[in-house]
Structure 1
Amino acid sequence: MRLFAGGYTADMDAHAEGIGVLHAGSPDGVLAGGALRWAGTAAASASPSWIAWHPTQDLIYAAQEGAGTVQAFRRTGEESFASLGAAVAVGDAPCHVAVAPDGRSLIASCYGDGRVVRLSLDAAGRPAAPAAAPAAALVADVPGLAELPAGAPAPHAHQARFTPAGLITTDLGLDLVRSWDVRGDGLAERHRVALPAGSGPRHSVWHPSGHLYVVTEYSNEVFVLRPAPGGALALVGGAQLVGAQVGADYPAEIALTRDAQYAVVGIRGSNTLATLRVGGDGSALATVALVESGVDWPRHHVIARDTVLVAGQRSDEVVSLTIDERTGVPGRVRHRVEAPTPTCLLPDR
């Protein structure tokens, strides 16, 4: 399998040179359990900390976190890309991009200032016309208040996800999960769910049962939300990541196994992977195992059939572990390779 890797570059005091190339076994195969090989840089880019495909075209979009921009890259070869147009400024520290299923727009989530920004994509896939949705800052709810008081929570948008229930975003700073309507070229907030204060909702995954699982960076939990009548979201369940320690561990990514019977969460700090079993109608979760990830600071991971590939941001490497598909539990590291400051892994298609 061939994968592309986002990472931090020199502008953020790190070692990547842009979007990298990783081989897991045969680059043209569908399995990822073979030996790992770092194959160099596919495109020079300034700290492309998150990368995402266009749904129909051979284009990759990068959140260039340090520069505060989004850049499109057009494929020029199996393992090479070139910039498509100019980078578009979106805000402070964009850490995630999500492309709409129809390929007509892109959502950038800005950690630094909390902005959720919609960019239009033209027929060639070039992004333009950034339109920021109203930030979820508490100041918006206090008439006459010009700025947040010192010590008040600050917005930190972290992820956008297009789901069958519509566009849903997380705000790690204000402990919010928000759903949106697209109106013209902009966004209008439809509904918000407030998670417990200090929980820090970071990333999510949509389960085939119709539930959204949201992992929290600060409270080490996974919350379960379900669409409700009228476009609202209802909080219907959750689970503690047993074995993770609040204040020492910081969950990052959540991904489903091939059969969607288990969710696997990467936990920075203890550098572990937690497996949760899905129960009932999809609204019940329970931790079944906590194992070593094999890397320092598991920033991101992807599951490819019976293999999980983990990006170790601080150890400058990627490792692969086999998953027991009967239990959803990863085993020991089978392969590892040096990789410069990886923050995101994106399988080729």
Structure 2
Amino acid sequence: MDCVCSRCASRAWGHGHDAERQEKAHVHYSDFTPDQRFIVTVDLGTDQLTIYKRLNGQLQQCHVCTFDPGTGPRHLVFHPTAPFAYVLSELSSEIITLRLDSEKGSFSTVQTVSSLPEHYHSHNQGGAIKRSADGRFLYVSNRGHNSIGIYRVDDAKGTLQAVDFCSSGGEWPRDFELDPSGEFLIVANQNSSNLVLFQRNVETGLLTDLQHSIAVPNPVCVKFLHQ
């Protein structure tokens, strides 16, 4: 898995490896870098992450990070204080740690880990990726394994260590969100049409199912209106 400069990238409008999900370019997510200097797009269809800078009211491409064919990058989240970003892939069920060079506007790959436990080899698609406000823990949802993966973050290296995999309390956890206090987490299980509430231990990162579930038809997103 390599990050390459924009002049070497040739798949911006090409086809990815997976015929069903990567038949064409499919920008699935975009966000500003924490310093607001660059815009990052995540393209599930072409297995690429692209960085743009704003110049005279327009976007100029700075760098393209190309992942292995069939990765299917879906979402990205930045560390709150360290120069790292974390990409969750939909198709390969991986979490890719990237180091951000905020001067050049480029990424380099630090680590790739599975979003699944070692014993699981059935169908899965990565869903959502979120972090705790202090950046100590990272969470991902697995659609198929129907779990929330919990990872401890090494602030100095940016690397991840799996802590636990908690059942999502339903089927196909499309999205989830931590509440503003960081003490609770709500999972939206799309196929079982329910929202499930978990208590979060802020010291260990572990989740406890509070057995509070409400019916919501095919939920796909959870957001708090006030942070």
Q: TM-score, normalised by structure 1?
A: 0.55
1:328 alignment partner in structure 2: 205
Q: Which amino acid aligns with 2:12?
A: A
2:99 alignment partner in structure 1: 226
Q: Which amino acid aligns with 1:300?
A: D
TM-superposed CA distance for 1:153, in Å, is 5.2
The answer to whether structure 1 residue 258 and structure 2 residue 128 are counterparts is no
Partner SS, residue 138 of structure 1: coil
Equivalenced residue count is 205
Q: Which amino acid aligns with 1:163?
A: T
- Give unpaired runs (5+ residues) of structure 2: 1-10
Instruction: Output the CA distance in 2 between the equivalents of 1:198 and 1:171.
Output: 12
Q: Which structure has the greater CA radius of gyration?
A: 1
Judging by fraction of residues, say which structure has more strand.
Answer: 1
Q: Which amino acid aligns with 1:235?
A: T
Q: Which amino acid aligns with 1:240?
A: S
Equivalent of 2:168 in 273, 280, 293: 293
Q: TM-score, normalised by structure 2?
A: 0.82
Instruction: Output the CA distance in 1 between the equivalents of 2:68 and 2:23.
Output: 13
Superposed CA deviations along residues 31-66 of structure 1, whole A, max 9, x for unmatched, are xxxxxxxxxxxxxxxxxxxxxxxxxxxxxxxxxxxx
Superposed CA deviations along residues 104-136 of structure 1, whole A, max 9, x for unmatched, are xxxxxxxxxxxxxxxxxxxxxxxxxxxxxxx92
Maintained 8 Å contact 2:136/2:155:
no
Maintained 8 Å contact 1:219/1:246:
no
Maintained 8 Å contact 2:132/2:138:
yes
> What is the identity percentage for the equivalent residue pairs of Structure 1 and Structure 2?
27
Q: Which amino acid aligns with 2:200?
A: I
Aligned pairs for 1:275-294 (under 5 A) are 275-294=150-169
Further displaced range: 280-289 or 335-344: 280-289
Let me know the Cα RMSD of the aligned residues.
2.2
Superposed CA deviations along residues 224-279 of structure 1, whole A, max 9, x for unmatched, are 11222421111122222241746611111111123321101011111101001101
The answer to whether structure 1 residue 216 and structure 2 residue 89 are counterparts is yes
Instruction: Output the CA distance in 1 between the equivalents of 2:213 and 2:158.
Output: 35
Higher relative CO (CA 8 A, sep ≥ 6), structure 1 or 2? Answer: 1
- Give unpaired runs (5+ residues) of structure 1: 1-134, 140-147
TM-superposed CA distance for 1:156, in Å, is 1.3
Equivalent of 2:215 in 338, 341, 344: 338
Q: Which amino acid aligns with 1:202?
A: R
Maintained 8 Å contact 2:115/2:142:
no
